Structures are given as structure tokens and as C-alpha cells.
A and B are shown apart, each in its own frame.
Chain A
Amino acid sequence: MSSVAAKERRAAAAPAQAPASTRGPGLSRRHREWLAAALFLAPDVLGLLVFVAVPMVLSVALSFFQVSGFGSYEWIGLGNYERMMNDPLFWDSMKITGLYVVILVPVLFCVSLGLGLLVKQKLPGMGVYRTALFLPYVISLVVVGVLWKFLLDEQTGAVNRAMRAAGLDGESWLGSPSLALGCVIAVMVWVMMGYYMIIFLSGLQEIPQEYYEAAKLDGAGPWRQFRSITWPLLRPTSFFVLMMSTVAAITGGLDLIFVLTNGGPANGTSLAIFYIYQQAFGFGEYGYASAMGSFLVLIMVAVSAVIFKFTRGGRFDDGQ
């Protein structure tokens, strides 16, 4: 009886197993699946390899050379890193970058979240508002820089005109070391807020409406609803925004700085990325710039790791 049952089980199982083990004229099914997966992945992997991985490796390699900028390479080991450690301008630029990131990321986060909450409302013409708020993000940073350079002009800029009309003295927004970095941050928030607003909006729309209806029945006000429903359920989105904006703040903004202040006044807006660019393409110090670039990547990895650790990689509720 048992042998009959076993035969029946084998017979039933046989058709299902057959395709996996059948060896046709070509590859087995398993191998064909592997091949399909590899082919699907190949464009991305190749792209990453050619445009990200190889340049990164070459950049690290370059940091060990003294490069003339005219095709001459001399191996100097850690020479560029030693120079970096003793370069006060580099450390000044790192401090400015730190300040820039510490202010920009939370401000951008709050503004984007606030806008996300606002544009989630079902009001007539909301699509127009969303588009208008997203618009700065699609404009080239060079154009943004020129635009704001005129708006913040000392004599004729719209900002100072408005201040004078209100009976206030105008300011040299881009010419004063104490104000210039703040202006760069403000412009950057203006540019980026639309993008992160959309990210937050998609996160907000994922939260089931029933939770809010239930909370209202329980007498929860808007603030209570935000604290108890929106904020906890939005944490994965918040983590994404935090990560992306931090990385963007550390490595981005070069075009804007270039047009708006050129690193001035008195190096007041010379972010690390600007200083690295200046050393590479202004002074032909490619080896040194690569060393600083590699160091900046390390810092970025470290900051990302800290964010991952504190937020548990966005998996906030695991194990709770």
C-alpha cells in the first residue's frame, strides 16, 4: 500500500520536476532563467560599471599620483593625502560644507514635508500649485544662479527693493560672508523643495484614509493625527528624503555656487565640492583633487552609515 502510494506520489511529482531537470539541446531551464536575469541586469550593471565603478576606482588610483594636468603622472603614494591634511583651505571648505549640510538638510526636510502636507489637500487647482512648486527643480542650476544673482543684487535686486519699500535698509546678500552661505542654502531649498515635496506626497498618499477617519471619530485633532498617524507611517519616506538630501547636499550645488558666488566672498561659500573642482579644473591638480574627492566619499559613506544606524535603514518597525 505504501509502495503504491509512493509510486503515485512520484508519478504526480514527475511532470512538475521534468522541465527543471530536462536537458534539451541547449541550456537547462534553471540556466536559462539565470541567463535571462543576467541579460535583464546587464544594461544597468554595465552602466554602473563603466560610468560609476571604473571612474571611482580610477579616481582613487589618481589620488596616489602627482598629476601635471598635461599627461604626466608621478607616483607619490600618500603625498596628496598628506597635503590634504595640512591644507587649511580644504579644512575650511569642509567646515563650510558641514554647516551647509547641517542647515540645508533639516530646512529642506521641513519645508518639503510642509509643502507635501499642503498639496495633499483636495482643493481646486491643486495640480497647478504642485506644478508651480515643482518647477524650480526642472530649471538648470546655472539659470537659477543667474536669476537669483539679479534678484539679490545689492543696488537693483527685487529683494532689496522690497526691503527699501518697507522702510528697511538693503543688504549685500551675496557680498557679505555672514549672509552669502545662507542665501545659497535658501536658493537650494527653493530649487529642491518641489522634488522632495513630490516624494513626501507619494508617501502621504500611501497612508490609508481610514486611519484618519478613525482618529477623527476618537476626537484627535490635526496635530494629534500628524503625530500618531502621519509621522510614524511616513518614516520610510522620511528616511529616503533624509538620505538623498544629505548625499545631494554633500556632493551637489557646484553649478549654483559657481554662478552665484564663485566660492566667495572670502571663501565663505567655498564648499568642499567647489574647492575640489577648483583644484582639478582651475589649477590642474587632478591627483590632489582626487584625494580630496575620495576623502569626501568616505565622509559621505560614514554619514550615510550613521543615518542608517539611527534609523535602522528605514525599517523602523522591525522587531517591535
Chain B
Amino acid sequence: MLQHGNEAGHPAPSPAGTSRRRFLTAMAGTGAAVAAPALLTGCGTARAKGGNLQFWNFYGPQRSPDPAINAQSKWFTDMVGKWNATHKQQIDLVYLPQPTYLNGFKLPSAFATGEGPDIFMLSPGDFLRYYNGGVLEDLTPHMEKAAVEDFGSALDSRKVDGKVYALPMEVEPLAMFYSQGLWEKAGLSEADIPTTWDQMLDIGDKLGSRTTAGLVFETNPGYYQNFTWYPWMWQGGGDVLDERGGVAFDSKGTRQALTLWQDAVRHGIAPRTVPAAGDVIGGFKGGNVGMWQQGIWNVASFKAFAPDYPYGVFKLPTPPGGDYVTALGGWSFCANAQGRNPEVAAEFCVWALGSMKDDSIDRMVDWCVRAKTDVAPRASALERGAAKGGYDAEVMRRFKDEIFPGGRAEPRYPPVVYKAISDAIQGTMLAGRGVESEIERATRSIDAYTKSYKGASLI
């Protein structure tokens, strides 16, 4: 019987002082460390596979009861159909429902395992993560200089070192949508459209009731809430990072923007959750919303689901001494540098949206004024869209002539920066925490991150 501590059953140590068990453990550990990345990445990449290129998107092909969505889906299928009819390398459209595309695990998992789509859609908020991950193909070699100039500042947040890595298909400015019915019911007229924050809060107060939210700001934490909050900060001269990339979050502009949203909620002018579970058209039609900060894409939704509903839009009011700014969102086409055929994928992106050929410009016009309601990111497309009457309707005219010109592209802050800002907004707006302490905490977090950050410029 072996006694405790008896070494009889153990192998003798090797001459070098390492037991066989220790040696085997070390070998197994080394083997696991070497093998793990290969196992975890699925041992392969899309590049090796060949076949048709895949274009992952959240528009089509799909069938929907919403005619606007069907038109958008058709735009995608027509575009890919035309490419496939004229090019040897074929492309397949792969549709992912929008929530899955935005917040699901399919797209990130695909990239993590080297199986990312060859062509995909990207928002500014995700640009840096994908660029730093080395999966964005340079589109510049496929573009004419005139085309780059045609896009102008719309490419700013999609460029690194002067090279273009994503082509925007649309520009989506934020504005204030309001219910004309409730407006009149409250004894207000067009002359009462607020131009200052104080006026906006007063009118929100007048429009509000137990079942109607007078003024709605986004309340769900996420990239979208940050996107809708940035213009309020920018209007007072605030910013997250300065021109040299230093942290500039602790500023008067930030303070007053956080206070604005906090006061609106504290005084019951803005609700703590968005009405109608976020259904904009349903909220307005149900008489539950007076004013709602929203994007141009809702014009198409109104046209589809409430064509007779009387609503208006106006540009975001400004603080005392502030300048008008709105945030410009919008999605881009990107080519996967690690995909099956990055060259052709990049060529497709440029062919679809970034060529100087009429076909390419008209395609963008068609997207921005027919299939969807957006401002075109190219000067030539905007001009053609206007000539075609795409911006003749009062709401679209306002977006083009009044709201869009004061716009600034959505920033491309990476997740840590986004999260710090998001926590500050949520903490002050919904938990009633002190503005100063939240700014201090966020500044500390962003500062720590930017000091260790390695990658393309954050601004």
C-alpha cells in the first residue's frame, strides 16, 4: 500500500531535473497554445475557397408588406443582377435581418473565423474596428480622382492616410420631426418652431401629456443613442477628441448637452423610454409623440405607412451662443481584404457607387430619392436627384437645403470610447447622476484608452 508522500509510484526525475509528467504537460500546453488559434479560427479563410462572392446586407433579397422595403430590396437585387450579367465573377446577395446584422453574432463571428463576407455594409461607428482588423480593402486604386472629389467630405470618416476604404451609399441627417396635428391642438403655428434649446423644452412641455411625449430623445443605450446625442454636444463647441486626437470631452459643450437631456427627462418633458417601443410612425399616428429627434430615413416610412399623416421637420435648435450642427449617418459598401477576391470586391463597390459613369451616379440617385429617402453623398448625385424632383417635397427640400448643410459626419470612435460616452449619457439622463462626475469618469476612461491605442487616427 502506498503511503502518503511515498514516491514509489512516481517516475524518477529526468537527469535535467524535469519529470516526464512535467515535460508532457509543457508539451501539451505548448501544443494547445500553438493549435488554439488554428482551431479557433476554423483553420481556413474564405480566400482559399473561390466561388461566387458574397454580399451581406440587411436590405435584400426579401419580401415585405412594406412597399418601401420591397423597393430597397429590389434596388439591391437589380444592382447585383446587372453586375452578374456583365462580369465573370458572380456575386450572391445574402440578406440578414437588420437586428441580426447590427447586434447579432453572425457578422462578427464570420470575420473572427476568417469567413467574413466579401462585400458588406459598414456604419461609421464600426469603421475603425474593421480597418484596424485589416479586413478593409483599399478602394482608391479603382476610383477616379474626380469621383473622390465628387464625394467630398462624405468620405472623411472612411479614409485613412488619404486612401478610401468605404463608399457611402447615403447621407442620413438628423432633424426634429413634429406632429402638425398636436402642434395646432396646442395653439402653436409654424412661427413657433423652436430655434433655441429653451424654446424646444417649452414647446415640448406644452405638447406633452400623460399619454403624449412632448419631446423624444433616444433612450436605449447603444451606438445610435450616441449618434443622436453628438450634435447637441457639437453645437456648444464640445467634442470628444480634439484635432490632434487628445481628449476634449471635459468641456462646456459636453456639460450643457448632458444637462439638456437630463433636464428634459427630469422635468418630464422627455420620456425615459421611447414611445410605442420605438415605432416612430406608430408613435406619431397614435398621438403619443409631439416632437421626436429622428433621421431622414423616416420620410420613406411615413410615405409607406402614413402617407396622409400631417408632420413636419425642422433643424435641431441651438444653445445660446452655439452654432447649428447635426449628425450625418449613413452606411457604406466595403470590400473584404481577406475575402475570396478582394480586387473584384473592391471593383464592385466602386462600380456600384463610386464610378464617374452615369450608371453609377444614377444608381445612387435612384437609391436616395426613389427606393429610400436620403441625401446623396455625391455632389453629382445630389444635383441629379434634385433635377429629377427627388427633393421637391417640402420635407425633403428642408432636409437638403436647411438640415444637411450644417451636418457633420458620424464619428468613428472605437468601442471603448463609445461605451464611455454612452455611460455618461445614460448615467446623467436616466440615473440622474451628476454631470461633472460622469464627464470626469468618461474622460478618465477615454484618456486611458487613447494613450494605449494603436491604429488609424480616431478622428
How close is A263's CB to chain B, nearest CB, in angstroms?
Answer: 6
How close is B113's CB to chain A, nearest CB, in angstroms?
Answer: 7
Chain A, Cβ-Cβ closest to B34: A75
Q: A133-153: which have CB < 8 Å to B? A: 146, 149-150, 153
> Does A205 reach chain B (CB closer than 8 Å)?
no
Q: Indicate which residue in B32, B105, B271, B427 contacts A281 across the interface (CB closer than 8 Å).
A: B105
Selected A-B contacts with CB under 8 Å, 13 pairs:
A61-B32, A62-B40, A70-B133, A153-B273, A154-B275, A155-B271, A170-B210, A175-B271, A264-B220, A264-B426, A266-B426, A282-B103, A284-B108
Indicate the member of B211, B288, B433 with the most A CB atoms within 10 Å: B211
Q: A42-76: which have CB < 8 Å to B? A: 58, 61-62, 64-65, 67-73, 75
A64 to B415, CA, bound (A): 21
Q: Is the CB–CB distance between B33 and A153 below 8 Å?
A: no
A285 to B276, CA, bound (A): 33
Q: Is the CB–CB distance between B213 and A155 below 8 Å?
A: yes
A75 to B129, CA, bound (A): 20
Q: Is the CB–CB distance between B37 and A73 below 8 Å?
A: yes
Residues in B with CB closer than 8 Å to A266 are 423, 426-427, 429-431, 433
Residues in A with CB closer than 8 Å to B367 are none
Name the 6 nearest CB pairs between A and B, nearest first: A175-B272, A70-B133, A283-B415, A266-B431, A265-B430, A172-B272
Residues in B with CB closer than 8 Å to A261 are 220
> Does B79 reach chain A (CB closer than 8 Å)?
no
Q: B102-143: which have CB < 8 Å to A? A: 103-105, 108-109, 111-114, 116, 129-130, 132-135
How close is A249's CB to chain B, nearest CB, in angstroms?
Answer: 22
Q: Is the CB–CB distance between A71 and B45 below 8 Å?
A: yes
Residues in B with CB closer than 8 Å to A267 are 221, 423, 426
Chain B, Cβ-Cβ closest to A268: B431
How close is B399's CB to chain A, nearest CB, in angstroms?
Answer: 27
A286 to B40, CA, bound (A): 11
Residues in B with CB closer than 8 Å to A58 are 36, 39-40
Q: Is the CB–CB distance between B219 and A155 below 8 Å?
A: no
Q: Is the CB–CB distance between B221 and A264 below 8 Å?
A: yes
Q: Is the CB–CB distance between B430 and A177 below 8 Å?
A: yes
Residues in A with CB closer than 8 Å to B273 are 153-154, 172, 174-175
Contact with A along B270-303 (1 / 0, CB 8 A): 0111011100000000101000000000000000
How close is A254's CB to chain B, nearest CB, in angstroms?
Answer: 11
Residues in B with CB closer than 8 Å to A262 are 220-222
